[in-house]
Amino acid sequence: MSDGTVLSDTAADVVKETLAECRAATLPALRDAVGELHPRLARISAYHLGWCEPDGRPTGVHAGKMLRAALAVLAARAFGAGTRTAVPGAVATELVHNFSLLHDDLMDADELRRGRPTAWVVFGAGPAVLAGDALLSKALRMTAEMKGTPEQPAGRTLTEAVSTIIRGQAADLGLDGFPVDRVGADDYLAACAKTSGLLGGCVAVGASLADAPAAGVRTLQAAAWDLGVAWQVADDVESIWGDPAASGKPAFGDLRRDKRTYPVIAALRSGTAAGSRLAGRLSSSGARGEDELAELARLVDEAGGRAEAERTAREHLDRAVHLLGKTGGDPVALDGLAALFRHVLDRHGRRTPAPAATPAMRGAAR
């Protein structure tokens, strides 16, 4: 099934329509939730979400596609529930996502997000941290009110996802400057939990709210976990070779901060001459100029790190889509989810496998 074709234009349009529809259904409740925070924290959160300028003037737009909300809504649909059933879960996942972005931007010292200064740059570290705390706290209050299946209460699902992403972020912090001779795939996969834990939480909360059988919830969660790994690996590729203008982030970001991303780890463990030269250069400390960063990127590529990363991302996406077909949910709705999964990887501008593991795309995903 990994024939390397991209989503057809029609399929991509259907996904975009679905995303827009899920966003429209969720955004008012998300605005309400943010509006209930202390005004100072509501302002910071609204700026971060792209809703307003630093001084509070509305922008009239929302930054981001609200992918996590869509995952929750589509997961609920896969088990027969309507959009409205999923909205509280969808809002809570978006709150958790933005809590983690607010804190991660500070942790990673990222100064730009979607081309705008990050919240900690604009409002200071303390207020940005507190706004993140407020979003998390609000999410967990919302989840505490949620119902779900008895074996898999929706609230507990999301509370566990929060622990998982924090654990993943802790592992991720350890990847900065990790000794080149010791870093391995396990360290990397532990860090992937920061992405996978939440994507798994999104589909699990949606499915739980739809009273899905526990086995179906678990399989769906495993599928989203694989999607998260694929995404993380693809993100690493983008961080080195992506177009800064398109990503809104500085070039060579991860190499600049000496982070052991997937392509770098694969290159270091390739047993190639380029991999050895890379190890030697990464072992020397000190700030690196643009030329040095470009040379590092070239060595990672020459050692096969980029190709290996692209293959790994595809494999995890394939497995994710395959698992979707095993959840026992509604095939049409699952096709919509599969298309969304592929779209997530497409957005990185990479070629992703054509639909295959679940019944052929039928333009479903209402």
Question: Site residues (CB under 8 A) for a second copy?
Answer: 37-38, 40-41, 103, 106-109, 125-127, 129-130, 132-134, 136-138, 140-141, 144, 155-156, 159-160, 162-163, 166-167, 169-171, 173-174
CA pair distance 43, 229, nearest whole angstrom: 33
Cβ proximity to a second copy, 1 vs 109, nearer residue = 109
Q: How far is the CB of 144 from a second copy (least distance, A)?
A: 5
Cβ proximity to a second copy, 100 vs 352, nearer residue = 100
CA pair distance 317, 338, nearest whole angstrom: 9
282, 310 Cβ separation under 8 angstroms: no
Q: How far is the CB of 241 from a second copy (least distance, A)?
A: 26
Q: In a 10 Å sphere around its CB, with 0-12 CB exposed, 13-18 middle and 19+ buried, how is residue 36 labelled? A: exposed
CA pair distance 78, 337, nearest whole angstrom: 8
225, 199 Cβ separation under 8 angstroms: yes
CA distances from 115 to 53, 65, 206, 245 (A): 13, 15, 31, 8
Cβ proximity to a second copy, 41 vs 223, nearer residue = 41
Cβ proximity to a second copy, 4 vs 39, nearer residue = 39
Q: How far is the CB of 275 from a second copy (least distance, A)?
A: 28
Q: How far is the CB of 84 from a second copy (least distance, A)?
A: 23
Cβ proximity to a second copy, 138 vs 316, nearer residue = 138
Cβ proximity to a second copy, 141 vs 350, nearer residue = 141
Q: How far is the CB of 158 from a second copy (least distance, A)?
A: 10
Q: How far is the CB of 232 from a second copy (least distance, A)?
A: 17
Q: In a 10 Å sphere around its CB, with 0-12 CB exposed, 13-18 middle and 19+ buried, how is residue 297 labelled? A: buried
Amino acid present at 100: S
Q: Which of 102, 133, 134, 107 is nearest to 118 (CA)?
A: 102
